[in-house]
Amino acid sequence: MPDGSVGQAVKRREDRRFLTGKGRYVDDIHRPGELTAVFVRSPHAHATVKSVHIDAAMASPGVIDVFVGADMEQDSIGSLPCGWTVTDRHGEPHKSPPHFPLVRDKARYVGDHIAVVLAETLEQARDGAELVEVDYDELPANVEIVKAVGGPPLHEEAPDNLCYDWVLGDEAAVDEAFAKAHHITKLDLVNNRLIPNPMEPRAAIAEYDGGLDSYTLWSTSQNPHLLRLILSAFVTGIPETKLRIIAPDIGGGFGSKIYCYAEETVCLWASKRVGRPVRWTSDRSESFLADAHGRDHVTHVELAMNETGEFIGLKVATRANMGAYLSSFASSIPTYFYATLLAGQYRTPAIFCNVKAVFTNTAPVDAYRGAGRSEATYPLERIVEVAARELGMDPAEIRRKNFIRPDQFPYNTPVALTYDIGNYEASLDEAMRMINYRGFSGRKAESQARGKLRGIGFSAYIEACGIAPSSVVGSLGAGVGMWETAQVRFNATGTVSVLTGSHAHGQGHETTFSQIVSDTLGVPMENVEIVHGDTGQIPMAMGTYGSRSLAVGGSAIMRACGKIIDKGKKIAAHLLEASVEDIEFKDGNFTVAGTDRSKSMAEVAFTAYVPHNYPEDLEPGLDETAFYDPLNFTYPAGTHICEVEIDPETGVTEILDWVAVDDFGKVINPLIVEGQVHGGVAQGVGQAMLEHGIYDSGSGQLLTGSYMDYCMPRADDLPSFKVGMIETACAHNPLGVKGCGEVGAIAAPPALINAITDALGIMHLEMPATPEKVWRLAQTAAAE
């Protein structure tokens, strides 16, 4: 029997190399003759670059070359594109100003790329970079969303700094609902800017082979094929056949390693220009300045209800910060990954959303774990909570009353999605049971007796992931398809290489995918090797983002396994002198139905490669490739409830309990899935209580540019989590899976803010709920 049983908490196969220091990350790799690149970055938020003087740097020991934007222009290196065109409310495409890897005219945010210094060592490159003199003409800058329109213009192409003004939903229907509403709840809120901070900083090594006229780029990428496509088709013109991208072990991504960045593009181009490999590793300060940031919305939301507390209309107006340039998928996040989720788990019949996306003198903003869906869940689960308080309803009951019921699936929302399946009441009930909701009032009284403020907060979220059907995203403006690929390659000895387009950077694919293959093909797990992260080995692929690896990448693997079994049946039928229709495949054996005559998968694989006795009309070999394009998004959903206790004397909020009950469909490996929930919740807690990327409104400097200033969640900021699950299998993929990577970051922020405001007896406070903010509110509450 295979040892990798689906549904079992199989320990991770990849652990050993990481635990013994043998993981291989980009910065661990060295190439003979390599130079180190250091970037000269703008210290100004907005400035014309009048001239760059490189003579002193060129004369510095060890410096080999210094390049500026004009050098790349000379070689026709293009702009870093945004791969999703959003059509605005007037039918016009969004404003898409150029984003050159090294600036050509002016710097538009602190950290923008002015020049690159290449030297024999990192120290020499740093010393050289200090000697590059840049003549700036400072310009007025703006870092604030609300002041962007009409503020100092960043781009000629968008004189009012508006990237797009976009709408979704039926405005007239919403107006009608509001006109007859019994009660309307209104709320203004900010979704704070986050800086992703995977623990491994970005890095790149580029090497040009003059003999083959080809390049290899080692990059900290979540999606090396997508990066190759962007670099080949839009930026450098290097044919895909001449560009190999390797993404080895990657130390976390959370979205920030999806994109095509300036630094790796410069290294790639410079490696040919100087004829030597070029390496670059970001230090943490650069990562704060120049990784794509996340979130950063200002939103006004209104919810209309009838006499019984049923939701009859929802109106949302959001301003979203794009930063100084459009990152690779920036335009799609506050639109198609945001407004489409505003129905949440509820039957609200009429929804209208308007999003204005603006340019500011800040780092580009793009997808970060939970992208768009987290931004949607926050206003929705906050306004539902405030509505319950205004109407005097129990927060669980107002949700229950409005849930889409299990018999209503498939359910078409008024914001363009069709939910395939779910059971929202089941997860709510289980979460309430796990946290002992009935006992809360007693616990609150007990806290009160000790002078503490106790609160409870709900978050009933939904997300759309497993992105996504190519035809759907194409019709919405995506520049790429969103299928995934898998190649299942048997070797003659019966071992299997599985080449997948889904890159792993912490998610444990090597284990989960092995479990699937092992169970499906009846091959022991130790005979299965998962290969990912190399465009030189793996067929064209789309990569890892939007919790798609299992739902889309795993489904591609299943499809390739199906092809292997189909071909194996033909080989076995020949060997067993039976007809193909009579062959059954189970537990790794091809058996003639109703007999004990069988051939093992290993025997069939050997025969496929040593085809001495073989069907005449069949090709040798047992190596199948499949592409899987999903039929729909998947819709993980659930309820998180947390309980907090606030010390009004210090403003410190302690999270006493956290219950997460999620519906991920079928679970392949509960150990790994629970780990994904823990990590996602921690990031959501970080957003709600600790993290905030802040730019100084006067100077445009990033004030939170290091771990001294940007508060990452530490072990003592977090509780242990209680994870429960319910299961409604996804109705449209072969594994019945939905995806689990992002839900924690989606569910957690409103749960926490609901709990903290409950404890304080107030309607709202802005994230992050720092002790100072909480202390001030607690003092005000005490004074009243």
Partner 1 sequence: MPTVTMTVNERQVSGEVEGRTLLVQFLREHLNLTGTHVGCDTSQCGACVVHLNGDSVKSCTILAVQANGGKVTTIEGLASGDALHPMQEAFHEHHGLQCGFCTPGMVMSAVDLLSKNAKPSEKEIREWLEGNICRCTGYHNIVNAISHAAQQGDAA
Of the pair 17, 776, the CB lying nearest partner 1 is at: 17
Shortest Å distance, C-beta 249 to partner 1: 7
Decide: 292 and 259 in contact? Cβ < 8 Å.
yes
The two three-digit tokens of residue 571, written as one number? 């080989």
Of the pair 36, 634, the CB lying nearest partner 1 is at: 36
Q: How far apart are CA 538 and CA 740, in angstroms?
A: 25
Residues that bind partner 1 (CB under 8 A): 11-12, 14-25, 27-28, 123, 197-201, 249-252, 254, 283-285, 505-508, 671-672, 674-675, 678-683, 706-708, 712-716, 718, 720-721, 744
Of the pair 334, 686, the CB lying nearest partner 1 is at: 686
Of the pair 56, 718, the CB lying nearest partner 1 is at: 718
Tell me the Ramachandran region of residue 62: left when phi exceeds 0, alpha when psi lies from -120 to 50, beta otherwise.
left
- CB-count burial class (<10 Å; 0-12, 13-18, 19+) for 368: buried
Shortest Å distance, C-beta 746 to partner 1: 14
Q: What is the largest CA-CA distance in the chain?
A: 90
Of the pair 6, 317, the CB lying nearest partner 1 is at: 6
Shortest Å distance, C-beta 503 to partner 1: 12
In 3D space, the residue among 550, 561, 555 whose CA is nearest the CA of residue 512 turns out to be 550
Phi and psi (nearest 5°) for 182?
A: -80, -35
Shortest Å distance, C-beta 683 to partner 1: 7
Shortest Å distance, C-beta 188 to partner 1: 30
Decide: 498 and 557 in contact? Cβ < 8 Å.
yes
Of the pair 309, 675, the CB lying nearest partner 1 is at: 675
Shortest Å distance, C-beta 28 to partner 1: 4
Of the pair 28, 209, the CB lying nearest partner 1 is at: 28
The number of C-alpha atoms within 13 Å of 311 and in the hemisphere containing its C-beta is 32
Shortest Å distance, C-beta 348 to partner 1: 32
For residue 562, what are the contacts with CB-CB under 8 A and spacing of at least 6? 626
E strands in 463-510: 484-490, 496-500
E strands in 156-220: 162-169, 183-191, 203-209, 214-219
Shortest Å distance, C-beta 19 to partner 1: 4
In 3D space, the residue among 603, 601, 598 whose CA is nearest the CA of residue 576 turns out to be 598
Shortest Å distance, C-beta 715 to partner 1: 4
The two three-digit tokens of residue 47, written as one number? 């400035």
Tell me the Ramachandran region of residue 296: left when phi exceeds 0, alpha when psi lies from -120 to 50, beta otherwise.
left
- CB-count burial class (<10 Å; 0-12, 13-18, 19+) for 156: exposed
Of the pair 19, 782, the CB lying nearest partner 1 is at: 19
C-beta neighbour count of 19 within 10 angstroms: 10
Of the pair 110, 601, the CB lying nearest partner 1 is at: 110
